Homo-oligomer: A and B are copies of this chain.
């Protein structure tokens, strides 16, 4: 079946006024702050007034390990939301916002695809409602205040070599990774080494996504560690006096954004921390608001289930007191084929054997997810070219794991393609079988938490780290941070730290290279392998082709 390019479908969409979308969730027009005619923020006071209402069902969409073949997690999230609406349920979708920078590097788009998209797609991939700009401003205000504090006498006795707060831009700019600032003489301060990260990597972003309300936001911002003194004692953002002004800069950004799918299902698109150095989930405030307003809330978590779902459960759900009712695990025949050893160029040919081999990756994710006590349903996101035998192979495999797999054709058909999935997900969620429990208790020592994730989720033989790292963890435990969950930073392409090791590797070693404390966000990051907190642009960035055409439409962004 021929499906038009995503951008054409999105442009032809007959969007309803955002007030009409709000009305579906009983949000009155006075509680919606419009941004144009098709986007709105939901008023903070309205949200505060919802706390006594019961919660709807929470459904997490996650996926097998991503491959270049594509798995369509967001597309399926949208398709499932639309499918629930189609079968008469009051449904809402919660996803993260897109980062501006990368859209000018590779061709962008992070709002689903085909007939399962969230609109207005173009604006969501540009400035949207300005949340990320507010985060950039708040983050950099703190940075300016730190250097200003040092400049005017350094009352806090900050060790210039131990300023850990960098700056951010929502841009792919490798030239800013490592810099020296405050050059040029006395009037510009004290030269020091520092650098820039991309805005989505900011701890402020993670905090915005975990804070319950503005008061919690301000407290967490104040708790961030920005530098250390010579005696290694931490200097907090609060000590610099930046927490109040940062909160003021973020007051609108804290309000969830409401938009719609092509089929007019309400969608909250809010927050977007990196799923590698942060927890990679949309905001707690959006998810909680949606749960108060809809009977079924479909959300997603970044990358594969080993990274995204684990952090969703162990960080977001644990911290926010959320209890998911059902997990949908997205797989495609093509991606399973790659997990079974087929190269990208050979994906066109039927290969049942490779699909079956690749199902080991799927199987391990099912096993892991069940370990959190939440029922799992597999969604096979249909691609043109999948054969019946291949699809049957996946369904048989999943049945053998004690789960069920539904073929979904939402990309081509919209909600008509997810009716069966939506029906089963609603039944399961309503069934009350979920007995959610995080992987490890708060009181487990930090290093043991890392080991637990490595062994139980990644199925590694062991996690390793230098004495220096283990001592750092002990020091943080002594300072009162031992109860925090760990936020694993690892390649998304494999259960191991080797991106080329597809399928379901076992017996590997997880080397922890570095640990970082995000005291405001409330987790300890364990970096396993290389991570990039400021991406670069490719040889020919997409920006070279992006322009407005004569009709005023954007070309080259998608």
Contact = CB atoms under 8 A, between A and B. Distances in A.
A207 B189 CA distance: 32
A552 B44 contact: yes
Interface string A177-203: 111111110011100010100000000
Nearest to A133: B133
B188 A248 contact: no
Interface string A78-95: 000000000000000000
A539 interface: yes
Contact of A214 (B126, B179, B214, B552): B552
Contacts of A548: 214, 218, 244, 247-248, 251
B176 A181 contact: yes
Contacts of A152: 539
B179 A536 contact: no
A21 to B, nearest CB: 15
A148 B542 CA distance: 12
A385 interface: no
Contacts of A34: 34-37
A179 B192 CA distance: 10
Contacts of A544: 145, 241-242, 244-245
Contact of A248 (B245, B537, B547): B547
A175 B182 contact: yes
A173 B247 contact: no
A440 B176 CA distance: 44
A557 interface: yes
B174 A188 contact: yes
Contacts of A536: 148, 151, 187
Contacts of A243: 547
Interface string A391-406: 0000000000000000
Contacts of A175: 143-144, 147-148, 151, 181-182, 188-189
A35 to B, nearest CB: 6
Contact of A147 (B127, B173, B556): B173
Contact of A188 (B100, B143, B178): B178
B244 A145 contact: no
B33 A33 contact: no
A98 to B, nearest CB: 14
Interface in A198-229: 214, 218
A191 to B, nearest CB: 9
A22 to B, nearest CB: 14
A314 interface: no
Contacts of A134: 127
Contact of A537 (B144, B184, B252, B552): B144
A140 interface: yes
Q: Which of A179, A195, A218, A242 has the most CB of B within 10 A?
A: A179
B141 A171 contact: yes
A176 B146 CA distance: 13
B537 A145 contact: yes
A176 B184 CA distance: 10
B244 A556 contact: yes
B127 A252 contact: yes
Contact of A144 (B130, B141, B172, B181): B172
A425 to B, nearest CB: 36
Interface string A18-39: 0000000000000001111100
A543 interface: yes
Contacts of A141: 104, 171, 543
Given A545-B244, A546-B248, A180 B183 contact: yes
A245 B137 contact: no
A465 B240 CA distance: 45
Contacts of A126: 248-249
Nearest to A152: B539
Nearest to A539: B152
Interface in A509-547: 536-537, 539, 541-547
Contacts of A181: 175-176, 179
Interface of A: 33-37, 44-45, 100, 104, 126-127, 130, 133-134, 136-137, 140-141, 143-145, 147-148, 151-153, 167, 169-184, 187-189, 193, 195, 214, 218, 241-245, 247-249, 251-252, 536-537, 539, 541-548, 552, 554, 556-557
29 contacts: A34-B35, A35-B36, A104-B245, A127-B130, A127-B134, A127-B249, A130-B133, A133-B136, A133-B137, A137-B171, A140-B169, A143-B173, A143-B175, A144-B173, A145-B541, A145-B543, A148-B175, A174-B189, A175-B181, A175-B182, A177-B184, A177-B188, A179-B179, A244-B544, A244-B556, A245-B546, A248-B554, A248-B557, A251-B554
Closest 4 pairs (CB-CB, A-B): A244-B547, A178-B184, A133-B133, A241-B544
Given A178-B183, A245-B543, 9 more contacts: A33-B37, A35-B35, A44-B552, A104-B141, A143-B173, A144-B172, A148-B173, A244-B547, A248-B548
